[in-house]
Structure 1
Amino acid sequence: MSGTPTVVNDVMTRRVVALRTGAAFKEIVRTMRAWQVGALPVLDASGGVLGIVSEADLLAKEAYGEGDIGRYGQARRSADLRTAEAVTAGDLMSSPALTVPSGTSLAHAARVMARNRVKRLPVVADDGALLGIVSRSDLLKVFLRADDDIAADVRREAVLRLFGAHAGTVSVSVREGVVRLGGRVDEPALIPLAVRLARSVPGVVNVECALTGPPRRPDLDPDLPDAGDDARNAPEPPAGRGGRGR
């Protein structure tokens, strides 16, 4: 699938501004505003990612800055209070940082974001060095793929892969990212797998399956004897007058 985005390295933002641990509060605010971002990675001396400073971390100072913290003074909010008193990136950041390798699939990156309720993830090399940032909007780029490109990938990755020489009996159409599979196949047991493979193609929104197996042949009623049995089991006719005499 040449040219098709499949891993975070294909869609991440490579030009990333980062902070050192000693960056001051106002410097962080100015940097976020200048770059129009909601979070910044914090790096160590070797370029490894130590943590993330987000707008939420900065807003803690506003939320708790008046002294009257009310119910937020409970022990369970002590971490927020410490953040409100922080003045450098090293004290403000959420650490350890949640990161992903550059070869992470788009689907896995999306699951990490959803489970951890974060909007962006630093992308790191094998040695932990920062390579880029992948955001929710980056992951959504895959859904901008043309329907014709998606259809070609579904036919190659699902239909031809499973049904080979009989793939011509399967139709593939795509509209607004929704794939429709139709036709008959010789092995109905492969239909669920075809749907899964089609759904895994980048850019697929949903899969509608109208695949069926070969037409059923009518079964003979097992309660009816066949013609041969009827002939063998028929009673012999009574001897008539025209029969052979003694």
Structure 2
Amino acid sequence: MKAIFAAPVRGDDPTLQWARRPISQVMTRPVVATDVDASLDQAMAAMLHAGVRHLAVVDAAGRCVGVLAARSVAAAWSADPAGLTAVTVGAVLDHDSATVSADARVRDAARMMHARSSDAVAVVDDDGTPMGMFTSSDLIRLLAR
């Protein structure tokens, strides 16, 4: 039987080129952000309006303090549908959310996402201001090219 795919020579593997790209080249922009003190219904409205599943969460100084996933909003809604107006983003935010710098490599972001069982990382500048978002959808789009 004839092999369909030949194993590439180490170092010449075109499938690994994506891994070395700077995250700033493949992240989703502009980043959609919400304030840590915003209500979950405001955050959900922002997600729906922008067509995204993740929001960068910023403090009063505009620094990224985490990533809010749509599944966190859904979990809070299923626990108390009427409570979305009273619960703040900060109350459900995983403050250990991953952030990466714009010069990080795609591989590093993917490894961080895997280690944290996360499907998104916020890309931040040197001051911690969000610049973009890198999600599992971005990774799949990159691999599918």
TM-score category, normalised to shorter length: 0.7 to 0.9
Q: TM-score, normalised by structure 2?
A: 0.73
Unaligned runs of 5+ in 1: 67-82, 146-246
Residues 25 and 87 in structure 1, CA contact (< 8 A), matched pair in contact too:
yes
- 1:123 paired with 2:138, answer no
> In 2, distance between residues paired with 1:142 and 1:13?
12
Alignment of 1:69-218 (within 5 A): 87-145=87-145
Give the superposed CA RMSD. 2.5
Structure exhibiting the larger radius of gyration computed from Cα positions: 1
Shift of 1:84: 8.3
> In 1, distance between residues paired with 2:74 and 2:137?
23
Q: Which runs of 4+ in 1 moved over 4 A?
A: 83-86
Letter in 2 for 1:88: T
Shift of 1:41: 1.4
Residues 39 and 84 in structure 2, CA contact (< 8 A), matched pair in contact too:
no
Out of 4, 7, 22, the position equivalent to 2:37 is 22
Out of 58, 63, 80, the position equivalent to 1:65 is 80
SS in 2 for 1:137: helix
Unaligned runs of 5+ in 2: 1-16
Q: TM-score, normalised by structure 1?
A: 0.46
Q: Give the structure 2 partner of residue 185 of structure 1.
A: none
Q: Give the structure 2 partner of residue 11 of structure 1.
A: 26
Shift of 1:32: 1.2
> In 2, distance between residues paired with 1:98 and 1:26?
23
| Residues 106, 19 of structure 1: alpha-carbon distance in 2 compared, 3 angstrom cutoff | same
> In 2, distance between residues paired with 1:20 and 1:35?
16
Q: Give the structure 1 partner of residue 3 of structure 2.
A: none
Measured against aligned partners, the alpha-carbon deviations of 1:32-76 in whole angstroms (never above 9, x if no partner) come to: 11112122111012221112222222223333339xxxxxxxxxx
> In 2, distance between residues paired with 1:102 and 1:22?
26
Query: Which protein, 1 or 2, shows the higher relative CO under an 8 Å CA cutoff with sep ≥ 6?
Result: 2
Q: Give the structure 2 partner of residue 170 of structure 1.
A: none
SS in 2 for 1:103: coil
